[in-house]
């Protein structure tokens, strides 16, 4: 296995099996830590000094990951 010590690209690739992708999508869709619904307070994203800009970035990232997984049209066989 190659050890990565720094990130050289702005885009990262992650190889997931279809079951792993579906698993991740289900986690995103059913999580009580969804910052878009509940905000950051009381979630795993709660930092005592977060700004509105940081909160918006977290919400947009959550949406982006969810949309990319949905675009894969994952389904159990």
Query: Please, are residues 10 and 4 in contact by the beta-carbon 8 Å criterion?
Result: no
Return the DSSP state at 2: P
Alpha carbon 31 to its chain's center = 11
pLDDT at 76 over 70: no
User: Is the pLDDT higher at 18 or at 3?
Assistant: 18
Query: Please, are residues 21 and 72 in contact by the beta-carbon 8 Å criterion?
Result: yes
Q: Convert the pLDDT of each residue in 36-73 to its tens digit.
A: 987 888 888 887 678 889 999 999 999 999 999 999 88
Q: Convert the pLDDT of each residue in 19-37 to its tens digit.
A: 999 999 999 999 988 999 8
Q: Convert the pLDDT of each residue in 6-18 to its tens digit.
A: 656 577 788 999 9
What pTM was computed for the model? Answer: 0.75
Q: Give 67-71's long-range contacts (Cβ < 8 A, gap of 24+).
A: 69/21, 69/24, 69/25, 69/28, 70/25
């Amino acid at each position: 296995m190659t050890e990565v010590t720094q990130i050289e690209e702005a885009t990262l690739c992650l190889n997931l099996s279809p079951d792993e992708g579906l698993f991740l999508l289900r986690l995103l869709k059913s999580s009580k830590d969804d910052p878009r619904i509940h905000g950051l307070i009381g979630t795993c994203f709660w930092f005592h000094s977060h700004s509105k800009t940081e909160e918006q970035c977290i919400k947009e990232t959550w949406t982006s990951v969810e949309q990319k997984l949905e675009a894969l049209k994952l389904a159990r066989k």
